[in-house]
Amino acid sequence: MKVIFISLFIVIADQITKILVKGLSIPSLGIEIKGMHYQQSIPVFGNWFKITFIENPGMAFGLQIGGKLFLSLFTILATFMIVFFLYKNRHNSLYLRIALALILGGAVGNLIDRVFYGAIYGYAPIFYGNVVDFFHIDTPNFTILGKTFYSWPIFNIADIAVSLGFLLILFGYKKIADDEKKNELSVNEFNELKPELPVEPAIQENISPVTKE
């Protein structure tokens, strides 16, 4: 389960960058992070790559499937399933576990936004928050699932982790299958080489009857 540290790193990096972009004010703790104005854009590499602050009510890359509550509850369920699968396969393919750890970290990162940000920043009840996005790559117009995008959807570190995890599974399925076969062979070889311990026969004690004098 050491791959869980990958997930933890992604969640921490994701939340730190989001707070730096959105800002955070907790006067009682002396925390005052100014952040950016909504839709403010800071060029990094000309107009091709920018940091643009927006909030996304849907899924990764701005895709919207179902309502906010559905997305939050679905992500919670998916998170528990991934954790269970990681634990169950903790001795299997490392490649698969790394991919799942990336997906888990990204899912939890965006889940924190959906569940808590609305309540923390005072614009929505719990489970109804928006996801903070800021990486902005300006590209020509294109269409996905019937929706036209006028540039590549603005995204965040969590989105990158989820996408990378799915790509690793998609293009590495053969390696995952090979790793599973190797694990099965190793287990079978171990069982064949394991010496059988001799079974000692049970010792029966003869109990002589007690005679009365």
Look up 113 and say whether it is catalytic: no
Residue 198 — very low, low, confident or very high, per pLDDT cuts 50/70/90?
low
Q: Which of 14, 113, 133, 179 is catalytic?
A: 133
Look up 133 and say whether it is catalytic: yes
Range of the domain at 154: 4-187
Please write the tens of the pLDDT for every residue from 142-197: 787 777 777 788 999 999 999 999 999 999 877 777 777 776 665 555 556 656 55
Any domain includes 212? no
**pLDDT (0 to 100) of residue 203:** 52
**pLDDT (0 to 100) of residue 60:** 54
Any domain includes 166? yes
Please write the tens of the pLDDT for every residue from 49-77: 999 999 988 655 555 555 778 888 988 99
**pLDDT, mean of residues 184-213:** 57
Any domain includes 49? yes
Q: Which of 14, 159, 178, 179 is catalytic?
A: 159
| Statement: residue 209 has pLDDT above 80 | no
Any domain includes 201? no
Any domain includes 206? no
Any domain includes 178? yes
User: What's the number of domains the chain is made of?
Assistant: 1
**pLDDT (0 to 100) of residue 150:** 72
- Report DSSP letters for the chain, one per residue: -TTHHHHHHHHHHHHHHHHHHH-EEEGGGTEEE----TT-EEEEETTTEEEEEEEESSSGGG---S-HHHHHHHHHHHHHHHHHHHHHTTTS-HHHHHHHHHHHHHHHHHHHIIIIIHHHHTSS-TT-PPEEEEEEE----EEETTEEESSSPPB-HHHHHHHHHHHHHHH-HHHHHHHHHHHHHHHHHHHHHSPPPPPPPPPPPP-PPPPP-
**pLDDT (0 to 100) of residue 59:** 59
Any domain includes 205? no
Any domain includes 88? yes
Name the average pLDDT for the chain. 85
| Percent of the chain scoring above 70 in pLDDT | 81
